[in-house]
Structure 1
């Protein structure tokens, strides 16, 4: 203990005090005051606290030692008090944790908030900040959330968007047009911008009272291109309907340095639709499958039995596209073995283009060819079995989905370029490369430099020949690989990176737009944080997921 006479490190025993024999009497050398009860009363005498002892006259003249002793006393007092409080807090927390959880659950239930929203990062932050603030925190008013705070959060989102804009200048970006209809049959158009940093939501338009002619959609998209700046845009992705094809034509006529591309996921979905329409066995099997949810959901007792055997999962999967989902679980019917030989390889491509895991641009060209080969092998190379399927795929791929951008991304993908089966002599690939280069690169001198630097990449010279570069070809995404090893070919590097980064209530419309703007961007950022592993479709043999009705 510091208070015992043998402890010479404590300030109370240094130089100026001593114990008288074995008694508890202490004498101070400077004021000659003698204390009974050991060092405790003496410390307060020295610190001039007036606690159970007179203040030292000598220490009034020498304040330094007095203040040191006083500080040590206060620290010990604070530590004791805080430890006591911590113990009480822990007991309080253990007792009230369940009550707090119940209160949070009650808030979710009475506000009809989806249970999954408890995983929202903003909710976790909110709980943490309220806990730090303490019991005196009062929540904002209804008016505050509707007006002042909404503006503050919009401003905060604007700042985040500025970071995205800086990225667009370096890597280029993709403008995405997302049209949808709500339950009240009102039509909306969302405008989003994708880059390596993530997807940003710009704004939403209520188009219910606007006829979606090519000219009007073109004007809407042209405004977005102007906002983002044409030199930053590599491609515009829209639906594949006839009016959007016309919009694409108008866009590339006016904006000569960008591409219009139909949505790849939509195109693949249409391939599944073509299978159903043109292949008799597909049409028959899917009709049978569609009867299952109709039969079950029309009988409450069967719904109860269903949920018991599916652990509460539903048959209907409304978030999936309506033609693809029909093929996901048809293995419950015997006829489906034939169908799955065709559809499972195509599902892999669908997952690729519909996933946030990696940009699909550099892989879709190769994956479509691999899909056809897998289908061919599944039918033991029998022409009459696989050729009708190839014909359907080729019709959509050649007439709608395939673009020069796909060929360029394939050629400049290090994961594929150095493989033995790489199609270096494929005229379609080379033509796509040079057509795309001429369109995306404005300056002829820069175009020439890129051509010269292509040879270093093709023959693996310079930094591309380093052992690190060779090892990382498969492990890194194409864009990341070029960022790390493309510095000796700066013009080509910039070009490649631009290619390989491609993916009402009663409130006033402006306020509604603000809410959508904040929520959409927040969810998009969270989606980037929560990367998920793609499902292995090659192993599909479960009947846990079912088809949906039209």
Structure 2
């Protein structure tokens, strides 16, 4: 455990001797005996052996016990003295002009506390007032930001509010907002408000320090798992409004992702090899022996050159591209297919007409079952296809709306734009085009949801997931090659040139949930990827030979592997955990399997970290002091967000908000390009030029990937 710092405050030092089991610190586990206690305040009593509401720790070292016992005794004496002083000093704190009699009065105070047989009047006389003059003073900034004297419940509540502000980047000045206080008054009343709402000084003071201390301990614990499971370096890059090329670096492992650093890699100012120098520094900091792969946020010739140089320098390292980025790229290419683009343009004509007119939007929301026709997504490329899918779901409701008396008698129904939209809704070829686009795209959207759906590693499933996407698309098109082959070709192009990695093939082969099934198939691509991965990760020839023999045991499902399949553990445990539990008799293969199956397939862009913090941190205008404080704020905010991402149950690809600036919505009074083209099509009788489909029923598609894919 961490050594005791005698100069530290017990209320801060205690965080080094316990582990929080939840976000609110309501359940804390002792690092010595493992007992779970309700909060860090109770942990001090547990460690210090102060009996009362909590039992003492049987395994705590003597020096730790004495440190916390003395701290608790001093705190209790201080509280008693305060109570006695309040009897004679009801006024606010005063500043002494001299220090005479202070020591004598303190001794008398201690005697008064220990003399239990004397009445209160004698105790009060023993605390005679000093003969010096007092000057009234205001509490200092340090005193306002100190948590001494607060009970554990108040500390917990204030920290919870503070964590909300820090995690979400809310301006501290919002604490003074009347609406914030009105909101809080709905939950607590009167004096309880003072116990619940922290001050700005407290937010900047002890709350910030406590949260930073706790997140630093969390990061340390995550780092300890890297040698066992390996880790992935995730990148998230962008160009800011100043034209700088900036990048955030995150390290991911099964224990959770943590923020490492932000950097300016602008070629013009930092040099052409700025990214390579950054990644070399990151590999040194994390430990090249711990890093399995670097996951890029995008693909380019420049990044490919960097990856080749890194792999040449570090043969055990793999370079992959974010699966979410690659699938988004596939969706963009599908959206560019002429027939699908025509359908998307017509659908945008409808939504832009409706959302630009309040009366029509109100009528729409009366008829459709969902609140909005446009389905916004956290993945931009998915918005168009989720909206088309919603069109199919609401098809019958839309048709009813545009033949309803409310619509027919409205002003907009008689306008030229209204007539175009009415005809589009009644056009069977438009709906055929919508169905075609949904069949081609929604399996890929579902794949993004599965891959980004939670914090579980998906290295063992990405290979099978992409195969299932193609099979699902084929089934949706009734296995008609002329219809699904163009979509397959787009998927294969991105898979073969950008997405696929030997790690993916090795993960597929070593995933017991897939390997021990009847339809498992190891082709040359899988076998070759497995071989490349083992050669690069195992290192010497002797280890490679051992792994080769142990692969035969795994393939034959012998030894503990058979036990792990007979008791259904392969379905209930994650692949990496399954190997940790049942692979001990093949230790060399076990080590490789655990490290491969513990990796992610996504880049850091999926976490949605605020980029403005990194931009401000990397600003050339900040002083050294400002930079140090900004670095603390950035580390705390990013790692709180990443910790929360780890704890969230499910990623929802659908965004709750529709952005008015989206291409599917426009301001009133502006005729869209899509409306212009639709008007032209009406004039030349070309409204039926979109792709025909013999099945134009209004039954919505139910496209799902098999559950075994994740």
Same fold by TM-score greater than 0.5: yes
Does the CA contact (< 8 Å) of 2:579 and 2:593 recur in 1? yes
Q: Give the Å deviation of 1:310.
A: 7.4
Q: Does 1:179 align with 2:237?
A: yes
* Aligned residue in 2 for 1:517: 635
* Aligned residue in 2 for 1:16: none
Q: In the TM superposition, what whole-angstrom CA distance separates every residue of 1:406-445 from its partner, at most 9, and x where no partner exists?
A: 0000000001101111113x11111110101111122332
* Aligned residue in 1 for 2:670: none
Structure-1 separation of matches of 2:499 and 2:327? 9
| Aligned pair partner of 1:434 in 513, 523, 531 | 531
Q: Where in structure 2 are the equivalents of 1:231-246 lying within 5 Å?
A: 231-242=289-300, 243-246=302-305
* Aligned residue in 2 for 1:549: 663
Structure-2 separation of matches of 1:314 and 1:206? 41
**TM-score (normalised: structure 2):** 0.53
Q: Give the Å deviation of 1:397.
A: 0.5
**TM-score (normalised: structure 1):** 0.68
- The change in CA–CA distance for 1:139 and 1:384 in structure 2 (over 3 A counts) is closer
Q: Give the Å deviation of 1:289.
A: 3.0
* Aligned residue in 2 for 1:289: 347
* Aligned residue in 2 for 1:465: 562
Q: In the TM superposition, what whole-angstrom CA distance separates every residue of 1:450-475 from its partner, at most 9, and x where no partner exists?
A: 11111111101011112665511222
SS of 2:252 mapped into structure 1: strand
Q: In the TM superposition, what whole-angstrom CA distance separates every residue of 1:382-412 from its partner, at most 9, and x where no partner exists?
A: 2211211111111110011011000000000
Does the CA contact (< 8 Å) of 2:564 and 2:578 recur in 1? no
Cα RMSD for the two superposed structures: 3.9
Q: Give the Å deviation of 1:271.
A: 0.6
Does the CA contact (< 8 Å) of 2:234 and 2:297 recur in 1? no
Structure-2 separation of matches of 1:361 and 1:207? 29
Does the CA contact (< 8 Å) of 1:189 and 1:204 recur in 2? yes
- The change in CA–CA distance for 1:325 and 1:135 in structure 2 (over 3 A counts) is closer
| Aligned pair partner of 2:518 in 403, 409, 420 | 420
Q: Give the Å deviation of 1:194.
A: 0.5
SS of 2:504 mapped into structure 1: helix
Q: Does 1:264 align with 2:382?
A: no
Select between 346-355 and 143-152 the one with higher mean Cα deviation.
143-152
- The change in CA–CA distance for 1:153 and 1:213 in structure 2 (over 3 A counts) is same
Q: In the TM superposition, what whole-angstrom CA distance separates every residue of 1:217-266 from its partner, at most 9, and x where no partner exists?
A: 22222211111010000000012231222222222122221101011110
Does the CA contact (< 8 Å) of 1:469 and 1:485 recur in 2? no
* Aligned residue in 2 for 1:526: 644
Structure-1 separation of matches of 2:661 and 2:459? 29
* Aligned residue in 2 for 1:8: none
Q: Does 1:349 align with 2:447?
A: yes
Q: Does 1:392 align with 2:490?
A: yes
* Aligned residue in 2 for 1:488: 585
SS of 1:178 mapped into structure 2: strand
Q: In the TM superposition, what whole-angstrom CA distance separates every residue of 1:469-526 from its partner, at most 9, and x where no partner exists?
A: 5511222221121122111111111110100111266973332232121112112212
SS of 1:340 mapped into structure 2: helix
Q: In the TM superposition, what whole-angstrom CA distance separates every residue of 1:167-202 from its partner, at most 9, and x where no partner exists?
A: 001110000011245688775421101101011111
SS of 2:257 mapped into structure 1: strand
| Aligned pair partner of 1:402 in 496, 500, 507 | 500
Does the CA contact (< 8 Å) of 1:174 and 1:194 recur in 2? yes
Does the CA contact (< 8 Å) of 1:410 and 1:417 recur in 2? yes
* Aligned residue in 2 for 1:84: none
Q: Give the Å deviation of 1:212.
A: 8.6
Does the CA contact (< 8 Å) of 2:235 and 2:247 recur in 1? yes
| Structure 2 residues not aligned, in runs of 5+ | 1-115, 117-160, 165-169, 392-429, 601-612, 665-710
Does the CA contact (< 8 Å) of 1:482 and 1:496 recur in 2? yes
Structure-2 separation of matches of 1:330 and 1:395? 25
Structure-2 separation of matches of 1:313 and 1:112? 31
- The change in CA–CA distance for 1:109 and 1:241 in structure 2 (over 3 A counts) is closer
Q: Where in structure 2 are the equivalents of 1:293-332 lying within 5 Å?
A: 293-301=351-359, 315=374, 317=376, 320-331=378-389, 332=391
* Aligned residue in 1 for 2:468: 370
Q: In the TM superposition, what whole-angstrom CA distance separates every residue of 1:261-311 from its partner, at most 9, and x where no partner exists?
A: 01111011111111122x221111122233455444544555666677677
Does the CA contact (< 8 Å) of 1:248 and 1:260 recur in 2? yes
- The change in CA–CA distance for 1:173 and 1:343 in structure 2 (over 3 A counts) is same
Q: In the TM superposition, what whole-angstrom CA distance separates every residue of 1:118-173 from its partner, at most 9, and x where no partner exists?
A: 9xxxxx9xxx9x99x98886977656644776455434322221111110011100
Select between 154-163 and 212-221 the one with higher mean Cα deviation.
212-221
* Aligned residue in 2 for 1:21: none
CA radius of gyration, larger in: 1
Structure-1 separation of matches of 2:578 and 2:517? 16
Structure-1 separation of matches of 2:358 and 2:289? 58
SS of 2:225 mapped into structure 1: helix
Structure-1 separation of matches of 2:172 and 2:353? 33
* Aligned residue in 2 for 1:160: 218
Does the CA contact (< 8 Å) of 1:214 and 1:246 recur in 2? no
Q: Give the Å deviation of 1:329.
A: 2.2
Structure-2 separation of matches of 1:385 and 1:547? 34
